[in-house]
Amino acid sequence: MLQRSIDMMYRGQWRSLAVNAPQPIGAIANLVQSFHAEHQREYNFRRDTAPVSFFRLNLKAVGVVPKAEFAVHKPTGASPGPVSRRRVWFEGSGLDTPVYQRDDLPCGFSFQGPAIIEQLDATTVVPPGASAEVDKYLNIIIRVKE
């Protein structure tokens, strides 16, 4: 379904008002009359003799699309090694910590903290005593022991 509207305003106003536009659009005079009526409904006044500006034409497509589904991965049995190691401080103690690349972690891969997982837009810390596992959607599930 296509929804058409036109943003209109009285000349000199700074705020526009969306008016539904029929299909086919039809006469400009009818659109202006629709604007006056909508302005009356919205703001409780109208200025039938004032010039009206057409500010923006809008077209919105509305429909039903299938629900997106996440890809499901199967465990590969792969056990990637860390790309590096570094000293990371946890509660006042420096620990030798493996660093993994996020894109290298396959479904089913699990490991114990401490660990660092790096990716382009985030860094994930798995603290000492915690475990991490990559699920079938490639989410990293971290379990922290209390």
Q: Tens digits of per-residue pLDDT, 40-70?
A: 999 999 999 999 999 899 999 999 999 999 9
Q: Is the pLDDT of residue 146 over 80?
A: no
Q: Do the Cβ atoms of 136 and 76 come closer than 8 Å?
A: no
Same domain for 136 and 102: yes
**Number of structural domains, the chain?**
2
Quote the CA–CA distance of 1 and 132 in Å, as a whole number.
46
Same domain for 139 and 94: yes
**Residue 138 included in any domain:** yes
Q: Which domain holds residue 14?
A: 2-61
Q: Tens digits of per-residue pLDDT, 110-123?
A: 999 999 999 999 99
**Residue 73 included in any domain:** no
Same domain for 48 and 9: yes
pTM of the model: 0.58
Question: Which of helix, strand or coil describes residue 70?
Answer: coil
Quote the CA–CA distance of 141 and 103 in Å, as a whole number.
15
**Residue 76 included in any domain:** no
Pairing of strands 93-101, 115-119: parallel
Where residue 145 falls among pLDDT bands split at 50, 70, 90? Answer: confident
